Amino acid sequence: MVKRTIIWSKQADYELKNTLIFHNLRNGNTKYSLRLLDQIKQIMDALSENEFIGRLSEDKRTRVIVMKVYLIFYEIIESEIHILSFWDNRQNPENRIDKKNATK
């Protein structure tokens, strides 16, 4: 099976970095963040080999992977997988951007 290239949008990268910073400050160390990054790497490796592991969202273009309290939104565009958002479900849902207008 062909591995697809994974590209993180600016928005998704920003959301992930903010999540990691939050946990580093709250916990006073990087242990949780490093575990989280390891889990994300495993998911990205699996996703690059099987782009359909996420469930299809309502718009029928975007897919989502549920990762405990996090959602990873992505779209398949030709031979690439674009990560649109890394969302912590414990946040206020009104803060979530409209995925159709996400910066890629």
Average pLDDT, the chain: 89
Average pLDDT over residues 37-54: 97
Q: Helix/strand/coil (H, E, C) string of 12-73?
A: HHHHHHHHHHHHHHHHCCCHHHHHHHHHHHHHHHHHHHCCCCCEECCCCCEEEEEECCEEEE
Average pLDDT over residues 23-39: 96
Task: Please tell me the predicted confidence (pLDDT) of residue 97.
Answer: 56
Task: Please tell me the predicted confidence (pLDDT) of residue 14.
Answer: 96
Task: Please tell me the predicted confidence (pLDDT) of residue 103.
Answer: 43
Q: Is the pLDDT of residue 101 over 80?
A: no
Range 35-74 burial, b when 16+ CB lie within 10 A, else e: ebeeebeebbeebbeebeebeeeeeeebbbbebeebbbbb
Residue 24 to residues 70, 88, 95: CA-CA distances in angstroms?
Answer: 17, 15, 22
Domain ranges of the chain: 5-90
- Hey, what CATH class is 5-90 in? alpha beta
Task: Please tell me the predicted confidence (pLDDT) of residue 89.
Answer: 83
